[in-house]
Amino acid sequence: MINTETSHMQTSAIHLKGIKISQNTTERSNNELGEITEPISTPVSVSEQQEWYGAPRPLSTSMLRDFRNKVRSGTFTGPTNGVCPGYLQCNMVVLRNGQDAFDFMLFCQRNKKACPLIEVCDVGSACPLGIAPGADLRTDIPKYRIYRDGILEEEVTDVTDIWPEDSVAFLIGCSFSFDEALTKGGIPLRSVEQNKCVPMYKTNLKCRSSGSLGGNVVVSMRPVKALDVSKMVEITSKFPHAHGSPICIGCPDAIGIQDVNKPDYGDAVEIKSDEVPVFHACGVTPQNIITESKVSFAITHSPGHMFIADLPSDTVF
Amino acid sequence: MINTETSHMQTSAIHLKGIKISQNTTERSNNELGEITEPISTPVSVSEQQEWYGAPRPLSTSMLRDFRNKVRSGTFTGPTNGVCPGYLQCNMVVLRNGQDAFDFMLFCQRNKKACPLIEVCDVGSACPLGIAPGADLRTDIPKYRIYRDGILEEEVTDVTDIWPEDSVAFLIGCSFSFDEALTKGGIPLRSVEQNKCVPMYKTNLKCRSSGSLGGNVVVSMRPVKALDVSKMVEITSKFPHAHGSPICIGCPDAIGIQDVNKPDYGDAVEIKSDEVPVFHACGVTPQNIITESKVSFAITHSPGHMFIADLPSDTVF
CB contact under 8 A, A206 and B53: yes
- Chain A partners within 8 Å of B217 (Cβ): 53
- The pLDDT confidence band at residue B192, using thresholds 50, 70 and 90, is confident
- Gyration radius of chain B's alpha carbons: 19
- Is there a contact between A281 and A200 (Cβ–Cβ < 8 Å)? no
Task: Tell me what the mean pLDDT of segment B40-68 comes to.
Answer: 70
Residue B50 with chain A: CB contacts under 8 Å: none
Note whether B105 contacts A: Cβ–Cβ < 8 A: yes
Beta bridge partners of B298: B147
Write out pLDDT tens, residues B15-24. 334 333 223 3
Using CA atoms, how far residue B284 sits from A4, A109, B108, B133, B197, in Å, is 25, 20, 12, 24, 13
B50: confidence class by pLDDT, cuts 50, 70, 90: low
pLDDT of residue A11: 34
Interface touch B293/A1, C-beta < 8 Å:
yes
Sign for the pseudo-dihedral over CA of A115, A119, A120, A126: negative
User: Number of residue pairs across A and B with CB atoms under 8 Å?
Assistant: 88
Within chain A, which residues score under 50 in pLDDT? 1-49
What is the per-residue pLDDT across B67-116, written as a single tens digit (0 to 9) for each? Answer: 999 999 999 999 999 899 999 999 999 999 999 999 999 999 999 999 99
pLDDT interval class at B47 (50, 70, 90): very low
Can you tell me the ipTM of this complex? 0.77
Whether chain B has a CB inside 8 Å of the CB on A94: the answer is: no
Residues in chain A within 8 Å Cβ distance of B109? 105, 117, 120
Domain ranges of chain B: 187-291
Contacts of B3 in chain A (CB under 8 A): 209, 211
Are residues A1 and B214, on separate chains, in Cβ contact within 8 Å?
yes
For residues B255 and B34, the model is more confident at B255
Question: What is the pLDDT, as a whole number, of residue B38?
Answer: 39
Please give the residue of chain A at the shortest CA–CA distance from B49. Answer: A208
Longest pairwise C-alpha distance within chain A? 61
Dist CA A38 CA A151 (whole Å): 35
Give residue-wise pLDDT tens across range B207-242: 999 999 999 999 999 999 999 999 999 999 999 999
AA identity, residue B140: D
**Residue B5's pLDDT is what?**
43
Letter string b/e over residues B276-305, b meaning 16 or more CB atoms within 10 A of that residue's CB: bbbbbbbbbbbbbbbbbbebebbbbbbbbb
Q: Are B106 and A117 a contacting pair, CB within 8 Å?
A: no
Q: What is the CATH number of domain A4-176+292-312?
A: 3.40.1640.10
Which of B1, B2, B53 to mutate to probe the A interface, most A CBs <10 Å?
B53
Q: Chain B window 231-270: which residues touch A at a Cβ cutoff of 8 Å?
A: 247
Please tell me if residue B123 touches chain A, with a CB cutoff of 8 Å. yes
Cα–Cα distance for residue pair B53/A255, rounded to 1 Å: 11
User: What pLDDT score was predicted for residue B317?
Assistant: 82
Question: Which residues in A lie closer than 8 A to residue B114 (C-beta atoms)?
Answer: 53
Residues in chain A with CB shorter than 8 Å from the CB of B247 are 53
CA distance B240 to B314: 9
Residues from chain A that touch B120, judged by Cβ atoms under 8 A, are: 106, 109-110
Mean per-residue pLDDT for B195-204?
A: 93
Q: Which of B203, B234, B200, B214 is nearest to B303 (CA)?
A: B200
| Minimum Cα–Cα distance from B170: chain A residue | A106
Residue B43 has what pLDDT?
A: 40
What digits encode the pLDDT tens for the residues B129-169? 999 988 999 999 999 999 999 999 999 999 999 999 999 99
Mean pLDDT of all residues belonging to chain B: 86
Facing residue for B52 by CB, picked from A51, A52, A208 = A208
Was domain A178-291 assigned CATH 3.20.20.70?
no
Report the CATH superfamily, name and number, of domain B187-291: PSTPO5379-like domain (3.30.2040.10)
Tell me if B295 sits within 8 A of B163, measured CB to CB: no
Q: Are B281 and B247 in contact (CB under 8 A)?
A: yes
